[in-house]
């Protein structure tokens, strides 16, 4: 339960499902999974001051305080209005979002940030690699999926964090952890949420899925030569970080909807609380990478 700003680490993205169905030149509007991903989901309290405000297939998390809120991920461009509606329906003001952060700069997690920033006036803080992409828009060079992704809109007023540096908004302290591999700038986020005497270590995990554009090899990439080493650092982060409640950038990766249905059925203890969830995530990520590297070895 202790607050431990770990160094480097990363996670998984179901974008694999998406990119495999996306031809070069297609855009988000023609994304085969986007309608399903963007289905409206009623917002709900995860724990304490932490709320789910994302869509059915793409997570977005609001952390609240009387002096301002933090928003993690903006999802698709067409998700921005849904996220804004969810924040308002919980009784909060979008204008009180003071900080927007991101898991990784693919269109399904960062596509809505420009619009949400425009509406809220929040500052955006990102890793150096992600900040470079956000400022320019588009898709970052060195991204394993470069060439198959729709571009993101450019975002203004982006600043860069240091790995493990604590960011403050009112009473909220949130810490970024570099978890690269899925992209070179991937980031996961940790903070504490409390209710009465109980405080939990909350983790928002980036994607750990080793997927790529055709022709890219994680075992031999001139554009991203440290990809495997990055994944290993990310797995190590998730194996070690204190983790009571895990939310993944794609909610089903950590079984959010299944766990939530158990909560609604009154299952005790709270199924959203699982101190082994991050280790399981790392284990699954290691296996996916092992399979991917094995398949590259056969080529």
Q: What residues line the site for Zn ion (CB under 5 A)?
A: 13, 15, 106, 207
Minimum gap (Å) between residue 273 Cβ and Zn ion: 27
Distance, CA of 30 to CA of 278 (rounded, Å): 33
> What count of other Cβ atoms lies within 10 Å of the Cβ of residue 154?
14
Q: Which tokens hold the place of 40?
A: 């409206």
Our CB check for Zn ion shows the closer of 17 and 293 to be 17
Q: Which of 44, 6, 17, 49 is CA-nearest to residue 250?
A: 17
Our CB check for Zn ion shows the closer of 15 and 126 to be 15
Our CB check for Zn ion shows the closer of 130 and 190 to be 130
On whether the CB atoms of residues 177 and 237 are closer than 8 A, the answer is yes
Minimum gap (Å) between residue 123 Cβ and Zn ion: 23
Minimum gap (Å) between residue 17 Cβ and Zn ion: 10
Q: How far is CA 61 from CA 181, 205, 213, in A?
A: 22, 11, 29
Distance, CA of 243 to CA of 184 (rounded, Å): 23
Our CB check for Zn ion shows the closer of 43 and 140 to be 140
Distance, CA of 262 to CA of 251 (rounded, Å): 15
Minimum gap (Å) between residue 15 Cβ and Zn ion: 3
Q: Which tokens hold the place of 298?
A: 């056969």
Minimum gap (Å) between residue 24 Cβ and Zn ion: 16
Minimum gap (Å) between residue 90 Cβ and Zn ion: 27
Our CB check for Zn ion shows the closer of 13 and 72 to be 13
Distance, CA of 280 to CA of 285 (rounded, Å): 8
Kind plus residue range of the DSSP H or E element containing 109: helix 107-110
Q: 82-115 burial string, b = 16+ CB within 10 Å, else e?
A: bbbebbeebebebebbbbbbbbbbbbbbbbbbbb
Our CB check for Zn ion shows the closer of 13 and 246 to be 13
């Amino acid at each position: 339960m202790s607050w431990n700003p770990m160094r480097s680490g990363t996670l998984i993205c179901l974008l694999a499902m998406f990119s495999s169905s996306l031809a070069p030149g297609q855009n988000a509007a023609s994304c085969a999974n986007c309608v399903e991903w963007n289905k409206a989901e009623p917002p709900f309290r995860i724990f304490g001051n932490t709320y789910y405000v994302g869509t059915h297939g793409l997570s977005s998390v609001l952390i609240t305080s009387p002096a301002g809120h933090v928003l993690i991920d903006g999802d698709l461009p067409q998700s921005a209005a849904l996220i804004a509606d969810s924040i308002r329906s919980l009784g909060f003001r979008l204008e009180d979002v003071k900080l927007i952060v991101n898991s990784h700069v693919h269109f399904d997690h960062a596509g809505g940030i420009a619009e949400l920033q425009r509406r809220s006036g929040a500052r955006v803080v990102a890793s150096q690699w992600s900040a470079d992409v956000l400022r320019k828009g588009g898709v970052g060079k060195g991204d394993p999926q470069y060439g198959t992704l729709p571009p993101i809109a450019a975002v203004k007023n982006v600043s860069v964090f240091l790995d493990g540096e604590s960011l403050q908004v009112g009473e909220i302290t949130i810490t970024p952890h570099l978890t690269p591999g899925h992209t070179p700038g991937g980031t996961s986020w940790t903070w504490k949420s409390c209710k009465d005497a109980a405080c939990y270590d909350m983790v928002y995990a980036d994607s750990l899925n080793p997927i790529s554009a055709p022709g890219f090899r994680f075992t031999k990439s001139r554009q991203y030569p440290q990809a495997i080493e990055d994944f290993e650092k990310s797995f190590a982060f998730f194996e070690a970080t204190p983790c009571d409640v895990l939310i993944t950038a794609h909610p089903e990766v950590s079984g959010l909807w299944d766990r939530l249905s158990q909560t609604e059925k009154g299952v005790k203890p709270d199924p959203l609380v699982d101190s082994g969830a991050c280790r399981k995530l790392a284990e699954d990520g290691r296996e996916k990478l092992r399979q991917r590297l094995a398949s590259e070895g056969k080529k």
